[in-house]
Amino acid sequence: MRIGIDGRKIPEAKFRGPIGILNHAKSLGMEGVFFRTILDISPKLDKGIIREVRQRADELGLYLEAGLGKVNPYALPETPEVRDVGDGDTLLGFRRMMEACAEFDIRELWISTAGIKQQYRGRFTTDRFRTDVSWEDQLEATRRFMLKLKPIALDLGIHLNFETHEEITTFEILRLIEAIGEDVVGVVFDTGNIHIRGEHPVFAAKRIAPYVRQTHLKDAYVELLEDGAYYQSRMIGSGLVDFTAILSELNKYRPDLNLTIECDPPRLGAVRGEPHFIELYNPEWIAGHPDLSREEFAAYVELVRDYTERIRKGMVKPWKQHNTEPFEYPEALQCIEYSKQHLENICQELGI
């Protein structure tokens, strides 16, 4: 298992460009870069630029991963660049991105079903609870669109991997894999997002481990409130995620899996807002998670309760204090190094 970093979240990503990101990642001791989409490498799919990035990654001995974008047709208007790269034809845009990835041997590709809407609070931060279209209709539209992408993926020899994103459950991802085919569909395991759906991280890991082909690793701060819970991402090793159990499970199925750290980028003086509010006790939220068993939900609440006690006892930094502390370039580098060291220690302990 090699440890790398998300190319969109690495400090100064916007200023360095793709080659600069690779060089920066190498200087930080990273073993790879996961660009969120191939358009992050070249918005116009310039083969010369992509070739340079591929060659530089190889020269530095870095793994190179990328993605495509949202595959939920109801969310596609949020990413007009995908349609643009197809000259107005969305399917052609995906084909061109997939062909560009395959040509330069980038074969594990990130996809998602929607995006977070942080300006709202509670369940409306995700498209799961849209009132203009049901989540079931969105999943069905996603399934149909993925079946259009399947023959392209098969022809090119690539995998399209659903992230365990804020709006979708692991249960639903597994059903999509079954409906579309594991020969072309896998999972990007984000160890933070699953908490927003009330899933226990180890339970989730055991469910999806056979299908995990990419990762977004981060830790989680989850604090119980009277009417729900607060979720906030934290650097690996400082939250409630049991990475030892998770990496042990993932290693059973894919010993060569790349471990990509998804760190918070520097805030550059910006004030961090309120954490994500999870409406754990809202009847509509509960009804919106029919797959979540009592056993798992009870284990999840117990995990969060224990962590909340640690917060109350001063063993964990509360979110208000965390938000007021500076998090600029030096702090972002410390976060990366701490996360990397934590993962390396676990890998060494497990012998993987």
Percent of the chain whose predicted confidence (pLDDT) is above 90: 97
Residue 75 pLDDT more than 90? yes
Mean pLDDT of 184-204: 98
The conformation of residue 122, written as its DSSP 8-state character, comes to: G
pLDDT one-digit tens code per residue, 207-226: 999 999 999 999 999 999 99
Per the CB < 8 A criterion, the answer to whether 204 and 180 are in contact is no
Residue 270 pLDDT more than 80? no
Percent of the chain whose predicted confidence (pLDDT) is above 70: 100
pLDDT of residue 137: 98
pLDDT one-digit tens code per residue, 320-334: 999 999 999 999 999
Tokens found for residue 278 = 């999870």
Per the CB < 8 A criterion, the answer to whether 241 and 283 are in contact is no
Residue 271 pLDDT more than 80? no
Angle between helices 90-103 and 135-156 (to 10 degrees): 40
The conformation of residue 120, written as its DSSP 8-state character, comes to: S
Residue 205 pLDDT more than 80? yes
- Our CA angle for 239, 13, 233, nearest 5°, is 15
pLDDT one-digit tens code per residue, 221-259: 999 999 999 999 999 999 999 999 999 999 999 999 999
Map residue 94 onto helix, strand or coil. helix
According to DSSP, the residues that pair with 187 across neighbouring strands are 162, 212
pTM of the model: 0.96
| Confidence tier at 273 by pLDDT (50, 70, 90) | confident
Mean pLDDT of 280-301: 97
DSSP 252-264: HH-TT--EEE-PP
- What are all long-range contacts of 266-270, with beta carbons under 8 Å and residues at least 24 apart? 266/11, 266/12, 266/327, 266/328, 266/329, 266/331, 266/332, 267/326, 267/327, 267/328, 268/328, 269/328
Tell me which residue has tokens 């994103």.
Answer: 165
- What are all long-range contacts of 201-204, with beta carbons under 8 Å and residues at least 24 apart? 201/240, 201/241, 201/242, 201/246, 202/242, 202/245, 202/246, 202/249, 203/296, 203/299, 203/300, 204/164, 204/170
The conformation of residue 271, written as its DSSP 8-state character, comes to: P
Which pairing describes strands 219-225 and 212-216: parallel, antiparallel, or unpaired? unpaired
Instruction: Specify the CATH superfamily of domain 3-345.
Output: Divalent-metal-dependent TIM barrel enzymes (3.20.20.150)
Selection from 242, 207, 194, 220 nearest residue 346 by Cα: 242
Tokens found for residue 294 = 């009592």
Domain boundaries, the chain: 3-345
